[in-house]
């Protein structure tokens, strides 16, 4: 370790690389992207749970992320044509409540992220790097926020 540090101090470029610790502001700016990723993972888990519960009764083709999810739940029939059992319907309804909460939280985080990525001017006439990233074709707001 000491030899690597001495070689680095002599100016040998490929001996080792120094890592700059992020500032508290940099670390805080990454929090929104991390929170959105966590919320998205939870949303996927709830969707899979709902689909799994319904598939056990022979129901397929139900999409919990569509806007008519509650109405469609009332219309569902089991694989043999019976209406959904009341306890299963209650459990799926509670899962939908959690899913709707997560969707609202994801929208709130994305709105906060978009507000941070709003066009700003760093120096006279020069847009901030965030703004330049969003203007690049193929880079969306989430990837620009991560970068």
**Which residues in the chain come in under a pLDDT of 70?**
119-127
Strand 121-123 vs strand 126-127: parallel, antiparallel, or unpaired?
Answer: antiparallel
Q: Are residues 110 and 135 in the same domain?
A: no
Q: Are residues 98 and 47 in the same domain?
A: yes
Q: Are residues 124 and 109 in the same domain?
A: no
Handedness of CA 79, 82, 83, 88 (dihedral sign): negative
Q: Does residue 87 sit within a domain?
A: yes
Supply the pLDDT for residue 132. Answer: 76
Scanning the structure block, which residue is given the tokens 């929208």?
A: 107
Rounded CA gap, 48 and 70, in Å?
17
Supply the pLDDT for residue 22. Answer: 85
Domain around 107: 31-116
Scanning the structure block, which residue is given the tokens 């397929």?
A: 60
Supply the pLDDT for residue 16. Answer: 81
Q: Are residues 61 and 129 in the same domain?
A: no
pTM of the model: 0.75
Q: Are residues 123 and 76 in the same domain?
A: no
DSSP helix/strand/coil, 61: coil
Q: Are residues 47 and 59 in the same domain?
A: yes
């Amino acid at each position: 370790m000491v030899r690597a540090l001495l070689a680095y101090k002599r100016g040998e470029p490929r001996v080792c690389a120094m890592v700059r610790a992020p500032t508290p502001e940099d670390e805080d700016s990454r929090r929104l992207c991390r929170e959105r990723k966590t919320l998205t993972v939870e949303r996927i888990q709830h969707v899979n749970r709902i689909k799994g519960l319904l598939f056990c009764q022979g129901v397929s083709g139900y999409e919990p992320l569509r806007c008519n999810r509650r109405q469609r739940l009332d219309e569902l029939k089991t694989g043999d044509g019976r209406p959904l059992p009341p306890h299963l319907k209650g459990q799926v309804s509670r899962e939908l409540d959690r899913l709707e909460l997560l969707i609202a939280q994801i929208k709130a985080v994305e709105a906060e992220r978009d507000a941070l990525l709003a066009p700003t001017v760093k120096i006279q006439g020069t847009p901030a790097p965030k703004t330049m990233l969003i203007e690049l074709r193929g880079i969306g707001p989430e990837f620009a926020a991560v970068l």
